[in-house]
Amino acid sequence: EPEVTQTPSHQVTQMGQEVILRCVPISNHLYFYWYRQILGQKVEFLVSFYNNEISEKSEIFDDQFSVERPDGSNFTLKIRSTKLEDSAMYFCASSLQSEQFFGPGTRLTVL
C-alpha cells in the first residue's frame, strides 16, 4: 500500500541553523501539507500546497518557513533560522481529494 515517507526521523540542530525536512508524498496525490505538533500539544496546520504554489498558510508559517516541491516526488519544509520553540514533531501529509494521508513525522530538536 502506498504511503507517505519522511526523512530524517529525527533531526537535531543548533539554534539559528537552517533545516530542511523532507517528505515523499503518495505518487498520484495532488495536495500536500505540513503540520506541526509541539510535545504534548495538538497537531497544528502549517501550510498546504497545490499546483506548485501555497494554497493556504497559518499564522505559524511566517517568513522563516518555506516549502518547495523541487522535483516530481519530494516536498520539503525549510526553516531558515531555527529557534528553540521550533522543536516539535513535523508531519507531512498528502491527498488526492478529501482524505489526507500522514507520514510518520520528523522530530526536530533545536538546541
56 contact partners, CB below 8 Å, separation of at least 6? 47, 48
In sequence order, what are the beta bridge partners of 53? 50
Binding of residue 55 to another protein (CB under 8 A): yes
Site for another protein in 10-49 (CB under 8 A): 31, 33, 35, 41-45, 48
Q: Give the integer Cα–Cα distance in Å for 83 and 94.
A: 27
Confirm if 73 and 24 have CB atoms less than 8 A apart: yes
Binding span for another protein by CB under 8 A among 13-21, 59-67, 74-82, 97-105: 97-105
Amino acid at 74: N
Binding of residue 82 to another protein (CB under 8 A): no
Looking at beta carbons only, is 3 or 18 nearer to another protein?
Answer: 3
Name the site residues for another protein (rule: CB under 8 A).
Answer: 31, 33, 35, 41-45, 48, 50-51, 55-56, 91, 95, 97-100, 102-105
